[in-house]
Structure 1
Amino acid sequence: MSRTSKSVLTALIVVAVIAALGMFYASPYIALDRIKRAADARDAATVNAYVDFPLLRESLKDQVGQLITRKIDVQKSGNPLALLGAMIGAALIGPLVDSYATPDGVAAILNGMPPRGEPGEKPPAPSPSDPTAAGTPPASSQPPPVTSTPAQPAPKQPPQTTAGYRSFDTFAVNYQHGAGDARYSAILKRYGLFSWKLAGIELNG
């Protein structure tokens, strides 16, 4: 092999190594983008591929339980009705977890709308006018009818987000709507070298 050929081969190896390292580092960001797009589109098959639902359910159960416990501790000396509401919420952790361990719930978590530990709480359903919602027909030229149905709660503004590695196999996306607002984090876990899945949530409010 000539010196030129060796130089070309060495350059190709270096480029391949750099590309692999870049892909290795960027893999959780790529996975996060795919999860969010799939969840917003209610693409259940893709969401299932990028979410570890058993781990997410366990995390939701633990975090919502802690959130409700903190509410009860704060309200012990306050309004008895508020305390009763928190206790009812504790009894409804199972249904809340069931509702958030879904594509709708994943979409809510990744769009700044985590569970708040309130009785009967469910993630907001996709808007009928949202073209990304699965099964939504193309918008017609007629304006949608006005109804009196109350709107689902939604953040007033897009959340501020930061993201980064916590360890070799843990990646966190942190959400906060403004100064003084409660923060929470979506946790991705590594599966293999380049694959990541949403596996948990941390509710800090």
Structure 2
Amino acid sequence: MADTRTLRWLPWIVAAALVALLAWTATGPWRAIEGIRQAVKTENASALARHVDFPALRASLKPQIQDRLVRAAGVDAQSGPFAAFGLSVASGLAGGLVDAMVTPVGLGALMEGRKVWNRVGGIPPPTRSDTSAQPEPIADPRLRFESFSRATATVTMDDGSELELVLTRTGLRWRLAEMRLPPPADPPR
């Protein structure tokens, strides 16, 4: 008789577990953005590393940075052999810079450098609980699902341009995997 009662509740238990799993997965992008936001506010590179897929992020940023360099150089810079060589060297350096900076160690160094710079300027470092002096990272993101495993968070920058953060899901974990930089400003004429 106990087996019949257990079997009667089994579908409800399975349904509740599936709803909980779906809810956990669906709220993943918001939890990842909040994790990134808190890690940046507290300048915790190891916490940030849990929410960022660094190889994918580097792969998304390199071509965008290199494209901006080529556009900034203009058509005249690509016309001569020495100019083209200089542009290819600059593109390679930009790619190397992205490789070096978009790592947990690189971000930690940037964060530590900012701490040192603030100390030199007389700004006391914020405590883990007092982050009110810092601007809000990823302020007011607009989240949108592109698919069951991909979501974007669009953030409006100070100049009105929009930065898109692309989060991807692997299993139950959501991580920042791509950044779509705002279009470059038109060069002055």
TM (norm. structure 2) is 0.62
Instruction: Give the one of 154, 157, 173 matched to 1:177.
Output: 157
Q: For residues 140 and 169 of structure 2, what CA distance do their matches in structure 1 show?
A: 24
Corresponding residue for residue 40 of structure 2: 39
Where does the alignment leave 5 or more consecutive residues of structure 2 unmatched?
A: 77-86, 184-189
- Specify every segment of 5 or more residues in structure 1 that has no aligned partner in the other structure, as ranges: 77-86, 108-121, 139-153
Distance 1:99 1:200, change over 3 A: same
Note the alpha carbon deviations across 1:104-151, whole angstroms, 9 max, x for none: 9869xxxxxxxxxxxxxx888244434257xxxx9xxxxxxxxxxxxx
Q: How many residue pairs get matched?
A: 161
- With over 3 angstroms needed to count, the CA separation of the structure-2 counterparts of 1:198 and 1:158, relative to structure 1, is closer
- Equivalent residue in structure 2 for 1:131, among 123, 126, 129: 126
**Cα pair distance change 1:158/1:188, threshold 3 Å:** closer
Amino acid at match of 2:146: R
Structure-2 residue corresponding to 1:188: 167
CA RMSD, aligned part only? 4.0
Identify if the C-alpha distance between structure 1 residues 103 and 169 changes in structure 2 by more than 3 Å, giving closer, same or farther. Answer: same
Decide whether the 8 Å contact of 2:146 with 2:152 is kept in 1: yes
Partner SS, residue 181 of structure 1: coil
The answer to whether the 8 Å contact 1:42/1:104 transfers is: no
Displacement after TM superposition at 1:173 (Å): 1.2
Distance (whole Å) between structure 2 residues aligned to residue 159 and residue 22 of structure 1? 24
- Asked whether the equivalents of residues 46 and 104 of structure 2 are also in contact (C-alpha less than 8 Å), the reply is no
User: How far off its partner does 1:45 sit?
Assistant: 2.5
Q: Does 1:23 align with 2:3?
A: no
1:3-59, Cα deviation, whole Å (9 max, x unpaired):
766554443333222211111111222122223322332323332232221221121
- One-letter code aligned to 1:125: R
Letter in 1 for 2:170: Y
Structure 1 length normalisation: TM-score? 0.58
Find the residue that maps to 1:42 and give its secondary structure: coil
Match of 2:84 in 1: none
Counterparts of 1:1-205 in structure 2 under 5 Å?
1=1, 8-73=9-74, 90=91, 92-94=93-95, 96-98=97-99, 100-102=101-103, 125-126=114-115, 127-128=118-119, 129-132=124-127, 159-177=139-157, 181-192=160-171, 194-205=172-183
The amino acid across from 2:149 in the alignment is D
Corresponding letter in the other structure for 1:31 = A
Larger mean CA deviation between 3-12 and 157-166 belongs to: 3-12
